[in-house]
Amino acid sequence: MQSKLTLVGAGPGDSELITLKAIKALQGADVVLYDALANDSFLEYAPSHAVKINVGKRKGQHSFKQDEINKLIVDSALEHGHVVRLKGGDPFVFGRGYEELEYAKKFDIATEVIPGVSSSIGVAASVQIPITHRDIARSFWVVTGHTNDGSLPLDIDLAAQSSATVVILMGMSKLQEILGIFDKHGKSTTPIAIIQNGTMENQKSVFGRICDINSKVNESQVTNPAVIIIGEVVSLHPEYLEQYVAELTKQ
């Protein structure tokens, strides 16, 4: 029996956006340690004998601390063999995947990483918002909405000063602060989209500008888990155009 850890990205949620290589890894799993997935159907790819444990962390509902997950990975690999650590999106995009990989290597456990479609770009693409466009945005930022101490990362202030598209993950609880930062930098009319449960059947979207998106969020009741997309590329979406076409035609 070879002890092995495979970090697998499950994608943003749509059951068809998991990769073929990820499915093959799940089919060969002895243990599956999975996060609070957007789509639990991925677990059906694992063998019936495989041990399946939900180690997902949600705000206010942490079932396992990161140190406990690390130890569980190693204990499971040494006892059972092949551990698939299944994470939403991509395991190396705000997924703490490298920490788990690094810990397993200390115990001479073989490791592999199978990338996944990150919600940071996949959700935008699924609603036909290009996060880059040669005439509008030639770069993009992907920023988390909070740090370990619960504050906003300083990068958001830097991103707000650029002409790039800004994608913020896990930022809904800090939406007011985020809007304030963009407004401070003269971006009150910058387009913004907020997409909840992106790529899923229960997806909800709201479009607006920095100056008015808060009221639209309250009306639509869009909440976590959501991806925030800020930048001129949002103005290419038909729903945004419908709201602001009168103003756009005057420009």
Residues carrying an active site annotation: 35, 57, 170
Strand order through the sheet with 51-54: 51-54, 31-34, 82-87, 4-9, 110-114
Tokens of 102: 């690094």
Closest of 57, 38, 91, 60 to residue 173, by C-alpha: 60
Q: What's the CA gap between 149 and 146, in Å, rounded? A: 8
Nearest to 89 by CA among 195, 5, 199: 199
Task: Give the C-alpha separation, 26 to 38, whole Å.
Answer: 17
Query: Tokens 């009168």 sit at which residue?
Result: 246
Give the span between the Cα atoms of 134 and 83, in whole angstroms: 42
Q: Are 204 and 224 in contact (CB under 8 A)?
A: no
Q: Which of 190, 198, 192 lies closest to 127, judged by CA? A: 198
Q: Alpha-carbon torsion 149, 74, 38, 112, what sign?
A: positive
